[in-house]
Amino acid sequence: MVGGGQTFQRRKIVAKVKLKSSSFLFDGFNRRRDTTLRRDKQTLTPHHHAKHGPSNLADGLKNEMKRASDMEHDEPYELSADGKTLVDVLDKCIEVAVVPKGVERIGDFAFYGCRRLAAAVIPEGVAVLGKGAFHDCCDLRAVSLPDTLETIEDNVFWGCGKLRSVAIPDRVTSIGGGCFWECSSLTSAVLPPRLSALGGCAFFKCGKLRSISLPPGLEFVFPDMFSGCTSLLEATVPDGVRTIAFRAFEGCSSLVSVRLPDSLEEIGPCTFLGCSSLSSVSIPDRVESIGQEAFRGCSALTSIRFPPRLDTIWNETFSGCSGLTSVTIPENVRTIEERAFADCPNLKEAFLPENVNVKLFGGAFDRTAELFLSGRQGRVPFPRKEAVDREIDSMLEGLPRPEKTTPKGFPEETGKAV
């Protein structure tokens, strides 16, 4: 820990740090730092920033890295025996971190709990950010990543609620699950062109993220990848993606448009659940499966183009799509499951295939408008569930009711044998 007379406990005592009054300016916020370092009874006084500090945060971080190199002293980090892995940060109150040169990996949870950390500079040579490396660094506002970086593991920036943007270097091929989970201030993220793996929940609940373009090379959009991104306006899924997994865009209430690739074969359950601003979507021809509740609650959806290979419309797939006025069911569909189009009050016409029988489960069009079905039997009104119930009740009216009995065959009233 930092303080007068205290030491950094590692493999050996490497430095003593004495705090003095000094400050420097970083892009609108002041930070205090140590200004005198003692080593082998010699005093090193670092060069102070100019009165007004650097012009912006990026310049400030570069200056800090240069100063750290010029001073040639050890920072308050625990390193592995070979010096290639930053294992831990000994000062959890650190505010600006400049990782020493020679480090190739930031270890798992190395900066975990550094709640005052505002900026971090990762030097060239670092190839891996370990799991949860900056997890819960709730004051982190800027991070400089090196061009040598290749892998960002799971949950690296989870809970960094003040991180606004991040530029991921071009060499990165893998970003783990939950990497930017609940980075609630993140407005933009530039994904590298070589990216081949992007884990589930990668941008979960990034409430200010406005747009995202996934790079080519991905085959799957994993579960909850953008779930809860309430400010996301548009998304582009690249060619090559075959599956969009469940809840990938759930709750993206501002999403107006999404581009789906021709390579797509499967849309998972609840994929676009609650995307209440999505007005239209064209589902590619290769899609064979659309999961239940995939478009539930897409109240602005006015039209839907079904793929020809689709054979089943599952439970509540389009339930609550109050903007739909008509749908055309493709010829390959054999089954429309329960409540598939329920709660679509403006749906007035459903065009069914003329050459096949479509099995309709109960409530498939429950609580829709005065719906007409057009198909092999012509244009006929859809039998309302309420009307069927009333018809059954009228048929039973006036008929003698059977006497209720217990499971053993005794009437309920007397309990005597029949």
252 within some domain: no
For residue 48, being part of any structural domain is answered with yes
Q: What is the DSSP letter of 405?
A: B
Burial 252-268 (b: 16+ CB within 10 A, else e): bbebeebebbeebebbb
In the chain, which stretches have pLDDT less than 50?
Answer: 1-55, 68-73, 386-402, 404-418
Q: What is the rounded distance in angstroms from the CA atom of residue 15 to the CA atom of residue 211? A: 46
In the numeric block, which tokens belong to residue 113? Answer: 């709990």
- Evaluate whether residue 57 is within a structural domain: yes
Task: Collapse the DSSP code of 327 into the 3-class scheme (helix H, G, I; strand E, B; otherwise coil) and give the result.
Answer: strand
- Give domain status of residue 124, yes or no: no
Helix (H) or strand (E) holding 60: helix 57-71
**What does R_g of the chain's alpha carbons equal in angstroms?**
31
Could you give the CA distance from residue 157 to residue 166 in angstroms, rounded to a whole number? Answer: 11
The three-state secondary structure class of 173 is coil
Using CA atoms in the order 260, 261, 263, 266, what is the torsion angle rounded to 10 degrees?
Answer: -10
258: helix, strand or coil: strand
Nearest CA to 162 out of 275, 64, 28 is that of: 28
- In DSSP terms, 259 is beta-bridged to 236
21 in a structural domain? yes
First to last CA, the chain: 88
pTM here is 0.73
User: Would you say residue 205 lies in a domain?
Assistant: no
Query: Among 359, 272, 360, 281, which residue's Cα sits nearest to residue 320?
Result: 272
The whole-number pLDDT of residue 412 equals 44
Which residues neighbour 127 within 8 Å (Cβ) at sequence distance 6 or greater?
Answer: 104, 105, 148, 149, 150, 151
Rounded CA separation 134/179 (Å): 10
For the stretch 23-49, pLDDT in tens is: 333 333 333 333 333 333 333 333 333
Tokens of 111: 């900066």
- pLDDT at residue number 353: 79
Structural domain for 31, as ranges: 16-71
Look at the alpha carbons of 77, 113, 184, 238 in this order and tell me if their dihedral is positive or negative.
positive
Sequence letter at residue 70: D
Is position 61 within any domain?
Answer: yes
For residue 30, tell me if it sits in a domain.
yes
CA-angle at 382, arms to 381 and 387, nearest 5°: 105
The number of folded domains in the chain is 1
Count, residues in the chain: 418
Instruction: Give the whole-angstrom CA distance, residue 246 versus residue 267.
Output: 8
Cβ atoms of residues 291 and 312 within 8 Å: no
**DSSP 3-state assignment of 391?**
helix
Residues 152-186 as b/e (b if ≥16 CB within 10 A, e otherwise) read bbbbbbbbbbebeebebbeebebbbbbbbbbbbeb
